[in-house]
């Protein structure tokens, strides 16, 4: 997979105009965008259809965590919008993930990813919510990844630090999408478990998600090219 195909730019904005300005500035430099709850709530599904019409792939990061029937309905809507990836929360269990996978089968190219442990969480956070027996975030990530694999998910979302053990558990065909990447020397922001794009991909990640480092840069194109250069052999 070439570096450009591995990079997903997160459109973490609270309005459509700001998101579209970044997309227009990046132009052909970026093929893949992440739309999360904030932007979807602000701009609605029309923005997703607009991105797809422009030839972009969309990673719809909803972290779905509801009863299986509701999750399946949301996945079907995502598929009808032309989304390429949609996330479900693995802590919802096998029923939720299986329902999402079944709903996605009607849409060629729609892949269901299971969120394992968000990149801002640490071992103490897991203890706070009563995750017993998880001696580390990595152990919990791998436990949830195995559950997702059993439910038929196409891959997982986890931090760069878990990419290598995840690849060992999930094998060669699974997608591993890693938020929390930062260029060497740059701030990791709110991500407690971060890593560079190169380290993430070398460890087994198929995709890296970059946000403010590109979208808030004075020159987003130059910033994106730095990320791509870090991924090149």
Q: What is the pLDDT of residue 133?
A: 64
Question: What are the pLDDT digits (tens) for 8-33?
Answer: 999 999 999 999 999 999 999 999 99
pLDDT band of 192, cuts 50, 70, 90: low
pLDDT band of 131, cuts 50, 70, 90: confident
- Residue of 34, 54, 56, 63 with catalytic role: 63
- Asked whether residue 202 carries a pLDDT value surpassing 70, the answer given is yes
Percent of the chain with pLDDT over 90: 79
Question: What are the pLDDT digits (tens) for 85-129?
Answer: 999 999 999 999 999 999 999 999 999 999 998 877 777 877 777
**Beta bridge partners of residue 135, listed in sequence order:** none
Q: What is the pLDDT of residue 92?
A: 93
Q: What is the pLDDT of residue 66?
A: 96
pLDDT band of 137, cuts 50, 70, 90: confident
Beta strands (DSSP E) in the chain are 7-10, 32-36, 57-64, 85-89, 111-115, 155-157, 175-178, 207-210
Catalytic: 63?
yes
Q: What is the pLDDT of residue 187?
A: 57
Query: Domain locations in the chain?
Result: 3-231
For the CA atoms of 225, 184, 162, 85, what is the dihedral angle to 10 degrees? -20
CA 159, chain centre distance (Å): 10
Q: What is the pLDDT of residue 180?
A: 81
Q: What is the pLDDT of residue 183?
A: 79
Domain spanning 3-231, CATH class: alpha beta
Q: What is the pLDDT of residue 120?
A: 76
């Amino acid at each position: 997979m070439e570096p450009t195909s591995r990079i997903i730019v997160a459109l973490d904005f609270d309005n459509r105009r700001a998101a579209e300005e970044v997309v227009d500035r990046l132009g052909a430099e970026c093929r893949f965008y992440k739309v999360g709850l904030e932007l979807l709530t602000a701009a609605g599904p029309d923005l997703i259809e607009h991105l797809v019409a422009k030839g972009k792939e969309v990673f719809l990061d909803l972290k779905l965590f509801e009863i299986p029937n509701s999750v399946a309905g949301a996945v079907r809507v995502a598929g009808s919008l032309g989304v390429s990836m949609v996330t479900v929360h693995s802590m919802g269990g096998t029923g939720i993930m299986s329902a999402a996978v079944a709903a996605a089968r009607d849409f060629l190219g729609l892949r269901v990813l299971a969120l394992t442990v968000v990149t801002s969480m640490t071992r103490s956070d897991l203890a706070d919510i009563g995750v017993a027996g998880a001696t580390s975030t990595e152990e919990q990530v791998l436990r949830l990844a195995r559950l997702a694999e059993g439910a038929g998910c196409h891959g997982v979302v986890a931090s760069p630090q878990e990419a290598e053990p995840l690849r060992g558990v999930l094998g060669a065909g699974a997608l591993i999408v890693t938020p929390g990447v930062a260029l060497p020397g740059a701030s990791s922001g709110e991500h407690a478990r971060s890593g560079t794009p190169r380290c993430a991909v070398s460890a087994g990640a198929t995709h890296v998600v970059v946000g403010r480092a590109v979208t808030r840069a004075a020159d987003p194109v130059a910033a994106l090219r730095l990320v791509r250069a870090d991924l090149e052999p």
